[in-house]
Every structure is written in structure tokens, then in C-alpha cells.
Amino acid sequence: AGAVMAATFLSTAQKEYDKLLADLSRSSAAKLKRAGDDAAQASSQAGQALSTVIAATAVAFVLGGVLSAVLSRGLVQRIGQLSADVNQLAAGDLARPLVAHGRDELGRLMGELEQVRQRLAQSLQAVQQASESVRVAAGEIAAGNADLSHRTERQAGNLQQTASSMEQLTGTVRQ
């Protein structure tokens, strides 16, 4: 009786063990399937993220290139204008004002060059005014010299007449 009972108990235990093993196997298989699905989903999301990063990088490079080209073109134009303005000043043209664009170093340089142009124009105007004053004064001096020369000639003529009259008077007195 004890052996039958032990066999029954062992048989029941074996059935419970097989049932637990089957449940464990199903649970493990389900968990492995979910883990596989999660890994596949993560891999898919990583691929999408990589594609997004590559696309964003490409867009950034394109925008950077366009922005660089636009900025370079604007800078080259401003430097070309500054060069033309410097050549204009070097040629002596002080009449046209130089327009400073921007608040960066190049804009400040253009503004400072305009100040130089203004000061040169003022200096040149002062020299022209002084030259005009010298010309007027020289004309007045020349006119005064001409008047003095004319008066001196008249005086010399009068003195010659007086000397001639004195000689006649002296000749008359001696006779």
C-alpha cells in the first residue's frame, strides 16, 4: 500500500511537474517572442532615427552651404565696394560720400573711411579758401605796385621838369 501510494504520489508529482514545465515553456516562449518583437521594434526605430539623423545632417549641410554662399557673396560685394571707394579717394574724388553698411568690422571700417573723406574734403576746402585769399591779396598787391609805379613815374617826370626849369632859371640868372 505504501508503494502504490508512493507511485500515485510520484505519478501526480510527475504530471504537475510536466504541467509546470509546459507552463514555464509557454511563458518563456511568449517572453522570448515579446523580447524578439521588442528587439525588432527597437531595431526598426533605431533605423528610422538613423535615417532622420542622416536627413537632418544633409539638410544642415545644404542650408550651411547656401548660407555660406550668401554670406560670402555679400561680403565679397561689400569688400569690392570698399575697394572702389578707396580707389575713388586715391584718385582725388572727395565729392561722393561713402555709405557704410552694417555694424560689423567692415561696416565700421567703411564709416571710418567716410570720416577720413570728410576731413580731407574740409582740409582741401580750407586750402582752397586760403589759396583764394592769397590770390586776392596778390592781386591787390600787384594793383598797388602798379599804382605806385605809375605815381613814381609821374613824380620822376615832374622832378625832371622841375630840374629842367631850374637849369633854365639858372641860365637866365647867369645872363
Q: What pLDDT was estimated at residue 52?
A: 97
Residue range 32-64, pLDDT digits in tens:
999 999 999 999 999 999 999 999 999 999 999
Distance CA 130, CA 124 (A): 10
User: Grid cell 565729392 — which residue?
Assistant: 95
Residue 75: Cβ within 10 Å count: 13
SS3 88: helix
Q: Is 144's pLDDT higher than 80?
A: yes
pLDDT above 80: residue 1: no
Instruction: With beta carbons less than 8 A apart as the criterion, state whether 85 and 110 touch.
Output: yes
pLDDT at 102: 82
The CA-based angle 140-145-146, given to 5 degrees, is 100
pTM of the model: 0.52
- 173 pLDDT band, cuts 50/70/90, is confident
Torsion angle of C-alpha atoms 170, 172, 174, 175, degrees rounded to 10: 170
Q: What is the pLDDT of residue 156?
A: 93
